[in-house]
Amino acid sequence: PAAAHIDTMAAPNDMTEWRTVTVVAGRAFEEHVAVDTPGACVAFAFEVSGGANAVFSIEHRTASHATSLALLPASSYSEHSGEVLLPGRGVTVLTWHNPSGWLFSSDIEVSYAVHCRFLPAAAVAASASTAPRTPRKSKPQR
């Protein structure tokens, strides 16, 4: 991971804080969210400065790190927000990859907020069978 700097600013709604990270061309930045209680949901929002794109994905690794599950497959976005219901205990990894290569290298700045909340047991049971594991809002880049 290559982060030259991280700035913090106030975040809206239930997001605790916004951070801005610089991701060097061809590198990735990861935010890890550890969850040791079942029934968790991770909400996120981000924006890439200057209309640039980042390849964003979300993966959940079990507590034993024996298996991992792609909750949101990698796709290119200039901004994105949503939430994912976590399948259980473990570590959820949000990854922003700067797809710029060495020939046209340029760093990108990603401003993001991540919030983990715990749902009541009844809500988890009801949403487990109906809720998709993809975010509510998205703006994929073509």
Summary mean pLDDT of the chain: 79
End-to-end alpha-carbon separation of the chain, Å?
26
pLDDT given for residue 8 in this prediction: 37
Tokens of 53: 């794109």
pLDDT in tens, 54-103: 999 999 998 777 789 999 999 999 999 999 999 989 999 999 999 986 66
Residues 7-35, mean pLDDT to the nearest whole number: 76
Please state, in angstroms and rounded to a whole number, the distance separating the CA atoms of residues 109 and 136.
23
pLDDT(120) > 80: no
Instruction: Report phi then psi at 114, rounded to 5.
Output: -135, 135
* Whole-structure pTM value: 0.74
